[in-house]
Structure 1
Amino acid sequence: MSEPGLRERKKQRMFQVLSDVAIELFVEKGFDAVSVAEVAAAAEVSKPTLFRYFPAKEDLVLHRVADHEGEAARVVAQGPTPLAALRRHFLAGLERCDPVTGLNDDPGVLAFHTLLYGTPALVARLHTHLERSEAALGQALGGDLDARLAAGQIIAVQRVLALENWRRIAAGERVAAVRGDAVAAAERAFGVLAAGLPGIA
């Protein structure tokens, strides 16, 4: 029984190693300046092995945020209402400086976000990730048209809030200076969502 668990752990470690090596190279040299072959060589694996783990170059970067893909859908089950749960979860993320909220000034996080938001191919791939998050949330909210419309608005609000936080941090502001505005903006945004989406508020 322990052997499958061990194989899975090894597989997950390989995903992490390949992604970390690739991101380090991309941050240093630029996404477009680094080939998949260079990433494979730096990670000491063959190119076919790398492609078995990551079918596309962009996936090497997006692996770092892939675990957030179904997060909103998981959160809505925590109640008391879907929107209240999502609001609480986002505010808790701001409190702990979760990188996904954009409110994090760690140099490594900043470098990653600069790579992500500054590379058109990665931005396009990120939108695919957001679309899957939206679809999962829509399903969790009921799956009908109203649920899908609500999910689209919620995911968009979270994305814009995080991007605004990151832009201010990237411009040189410290977390302590941004946090109050970030919390106020989140409260205001979720208030607007609650007013416009009474069915899930």
Structure 2
Amino acid sequence: MTAPSSTAGETGLRERKKRMTRQALIETAEAMFAERGFDAVTVAEIAAAVNIAAKTVFVYFPAKEDLVFHDEDSIRDQLVARISGRAPGQTPLDAVADLLHEMMAASTKGPENELDHLLRTVGDSAVLQARMRLMWERFETAIAVELARESGDHPYSAPPRVAAAQLTMLYRMLASPELLDFIRSKPKSRRRAAFRQWFDEAVQAVGRGIADYARRD
């Protein structure tokens, strides 16, 4: 009876150490990237700061840019799960809007600081800009597959693809410099409310569609 318990304890300890190392890599990389820029920081520097070998970093993250987008899979799964598990009467737009509101509300930094941190990290790095676009595409594809499954449409037909693009755009626009400029154009005491206003208007615009937007007389 003692051997299995000992083995289980060792396995649990190893898993905790792995989680701690992964989190340390994320936090160290984020601090370095924000201070010096993604392209100026090497994997070897990050590894040295965490006191591990450089090759060990790739055990946790297949590519350097994955240190920035470490929560991509989790966010994608949350988006799909919220859509598939939404309440009767709720639309996919309602479900995604609610999730994004919750994510912003749960942020300890606040929307303004979260966005500022992301934009400073990505900066002019072509690698990170391309990686971010790939992330949006993956979100869009996963959402389109779920919408097609539920509606019975072909996964590559127009309705689920267009709807998925619109839903992904809501998340994508939360990483736009224009949103940060809009927030910062308001007094500090009103910036959180300004973010909420901007996002709510974006959701409403998606809900209405663009058929009559800016129609010429």
Instruction: State the TM bucket, normalised to the shorter chain.
Output: 0.7 to 0.9
Q: Is the 1:19–1:64 contact (alpha carbons within 8 Å) kept by the matching residues of 2?
A: no
Which of 77, 81, 94 is the equivalent residue of 1:84?
Answer: 94
- What does residue range 1-201 of structure 1 map to in structure 2 within 5 Å? 4-64=11-71, 66-76=73-83, 77-79=85-87, 80-97=90-107, 103-105=111-113, 110-143=116-149, 144=155, 145=157, 146-163=159-176, 164-168=178-182, 176-196=189-209
For the residues of structure 2 that align with 1:161 and 1:92, how far apart are their CA atoms? 13
Report SS of the residue matched to 1:139: helix
TM-score (norm 1): 0.77
TM-score (norm 2): 0.73
Residue 2 of structure 1: how far off its partner (Å): 5.7
Report SS of the residue matched to 1:142: helix
For the residues of structure 2 that align with 1:172 and 1:11, how far apart are their CA atoms? 43
State the identity %. 32
**Using a 3 Å threshold, how does the CA distance of structure 1 residues 158 and 182 change in structure 2: closer, same or farther?**
same
For the residues of structure 1 that align with 2:37 and 2:45, how far apart are their CA atoms? 13
One-letter amino acid of the structure 2 residue matched with residue 67 of structure 1: S
Residue 43 of structure 1: how far off its partner (Å): 1.4
One-letter amino acid of the structure 1 residue matched with residue 96 of structure 2: L
For the residues of structure 2 that align with 1:190 and 1:172, how far apart are their CA atoms? 21
Which 5+ residue runs of structure 1 have no aligned equivalent?
Answer: none
Which 5+ residue runs of structure 2 have no aligned equivalent?
Answer: 1-7, 150-154, 211-217
**Using a 3 Å threshold, how does the CA distance of structure 1 residues 3 and 82 change in structure 2: closer, same or farther?**
farther
Q: CA deviation digits over 1:129-155, x for unaligned, max 9?
A: 222211221122125322122111111
Supply the RMSD in Å over aligned alpha carbons. Answer: 2.9
One-letter amino acid of the structure 1 residue matched with residue 50 of structure 2: A
Report SS of the residue matched to 1:26: helix
One-letter amino acid of the structure 2 residue matched with residue 165 of structure 1: L
Q: Is the 1:18–1:60 contact (alpha carbons within 8 Å) kept by the matching residues of 2?
A: yes
Q: Is the 1:69–1:133 contact (alpha carbons within 8 Å) kept by the matching residues of 2?
A: yes
Q: How many residue pairs end up in the alignment?
A: 192
**Bigger Cα Rg:** 2
For the residues of structure 2 that align with 1:97 and 1:173, how far apart are their CA atoms? 20
